[in-house]
Amino acid sequence: MIRNLQELETHVSGQRKRKRLVLAVAQDRHALEAVEDAASYGFIDPVLVGDLKQIKKITDDLGYKTGTWELIDEPDPVRAVEASVSMMHDDPTAILMKGGCPTSLLLKGVLNPDWGLRKGKLLSHFAWFESPYYHKMLGITDVAINIAPGPEQKSEILQNAVSFLHHLGVTMPRVAVIAAVEVVNEKMPATVDADILTRQNREGLITGCLVDGPLALDNAISKTSAQNKNIDSPVAGDPDLLLMPNIEAGNVLYKSLTYLSEARVASVVLGAPRPIVLTSRSDSRDSKRNSILLAASNSQK
């Protein structure tokens, strides 16, 4: 089991083959910094697809040596995304990463019925946090793609993340389904959804994990808080994954951890044949590099 981001780096370093990373619409300074970091450590071989003049200007300004990198000149962002996504079919070890294009444009390409990557699964975002205030790695989903998922969508989001955690060595992830309170209230849909998912897990309809909810954030991550509220839960105080009620709650928690609690993070999009690196311009250079490593850890060898 990978216990921290340093162990993730060691795991990727131990893989025999460098992974090919395709950066779609590569004329983005922040993405190029993360790609250069990963390439300099020997984790990836970059393929830059985009406006070559703009790409070269950025890499020259940064002093990067790109002689061994593959550069593909495609100034049109739509065609650059198509070219990048299409490359994924030729190399089962390749990683796709968003560069200087809107998230919606890249996801539209991934979901294209003719040359995209989607194989019938719901796409979802997974973030993996290392926090000095929590005793192990903590996954959070979904904070970036699904806006207001219902119970069926939450089940798919949960199972995407659980399958990924299995790959990371967490054999039976404990999943806390987050709401504002710990009791089911028909006026609060998040509590109803949590109760449905918990019952489905106990009935064997959701497998490979241990699910409990609704749980508020405090008693989900703190045994003391759960005990103070007389909550008897096999998950409270020790979850591996927080399933968030909606994108607003997930996004706020993600940014609170990264900006206010000194947490480090790696994140990927799940549901396609392989993880996709989909970082924000506001994400740190460290989190982008970690996200590349997290995707590389799960691509085929």
- Give per-residue pLDDT as tens, 95-151: 999 999 999 999 999 999 888 987 778 999 999 999 999 999 999 999 999 999 999
- In the chain, the DSSP E strands lie at 19-24, 44-50, 70-73, 95-98, 124-130, 138-141, 174-178, 210-215, 241-243, 264-270, 276-277
Per-residue burial over 136-168, b = 16 or more CB atoms within 10 Å of its CB, e = otherwise: ebbbbbbbbbbeebeeebbbbbbbbbbbbbeeb
Q: CA angle 27-90-83, nearest 5°?
A: 30
Write down the pLDDT at residue 16: 66
Residue 158 near residue 209, CB atoms below 8 Å: yes
Quote the pTM value.
0.93
Percent of the chain predicted with pLDDT > 70: 99
Residue 85 near residue 108, CB atoms below 8 Å: no
Write down the pLDDT at residue 200: 98
Q: What are phi and psi of 45, to 5 degrees?
A: -115, 110
Q: How far apart are CA 160 and CA 170, in angstroms?
A: 14
